Amino acid sequence: MANELRPCPCGIGDRFDYEGCGQEVQVEHIKAYVCKPASTDKAVIVIHDIFGWQLPNTRYMADMLAANGYIAICPDFFAGKEPWKPSDDWSKFDDWLKTRDARKINKEADAVLKYLKEQCGAKKLGVVGFCWGGVAVHHLMMTYPELKAGVSLYGLIKDSDDISNLLNPTFFIFAEKDDFIPLHQVTLLEQKLKKNCKVDYEVKIYPGQTHGFVHRKREDINPQDKPYIEEGRKDMINWLNKYV
């Protein structure tokens, strides 16, 4: 059973010791981390988890995408509000989360899309997100047709959620041993997608993995985990390469 004192899974995992290769910029009312390859018109929005846009792990993911030929931008989707800290009181997490709704980010998304198109020359756009950011990906992929591909990594889903009305191809990454996303919810998601979704999608469960494994688990932490961590990252990039 999940630890009742920790209602969000993002407390699991490692904080990478990583500096980042990109730079911080101002995008209208929010700040963002940007990493650019030499020349490309392809861009990916990278959406952080509850620990915010400055978490080294998420910047590591952005830099990985840039190394694969994408302008990668990780904006502050909390719009200046404090990210969650591991030392915060988990009993107050639900109240904290109410002021940071992953489905109410259109103002920030509009600013970032405008920046990518006008300042970076981006013509082909995708989005990836982790945990809280995975939920944000669900929302954006049902809202913005210019996002040609989405990858949602362990975005929390509820039985009542219907995220099958996707506008473009979306890949869903889940962990088999995720205490916070029961496999029956993943099965229900697959059933809804199969029945209603009109675009390409894939739902994949990675054996033996726990929540956050793609960006919150070090490759060297456990030998049997390394192949799945690397596979999750490769699958993310391959999906973007296929559709963006």
List 150's β-bridge partners, or say none.
127, 170
Mean pLDDT by 10 residues, the chain (244 residues): 43 62 96 94 97 94 96 98 92 94 97 97 98 97 98 90 94 94 94 96 96 83 88 98 98
Residues serving a catalytic function are 131, 178, 211
8 in any annotated domain: no
53 in any annotated domain: yes
Q: DSSP state, 114?
A: H
Q: Please report, for the domain that includes residue 42, its CATH number.
A: 3.40.50.1820
What integer pLDDT is reported at residue 6 of this predicted model?
47
Cβ–Cβ contacts within 10 Å for residue 15, how many?
Answer: 12
pTM: 0.93
Q: How many CA atoms lie within 13 A of 213 on its CB side?
A: 26
| Spatial CB neighbours of 12, under 8 Å, sequence gap ≥ 6 | 210, 211, 212, 216
227 in any annotated domain: yes
The range of the structural domain enclosing residue 201 comes to 23-243
144 in any annotated domain: yes
Tokens of 232: 């999750």
Quote the number of domains for the chain.
1
213 in any annotated domain: yes
9 in any annotated domain: no
Closest CA to 64 of 3, 10, 21, 125: 21
1 in any annotated domain: no
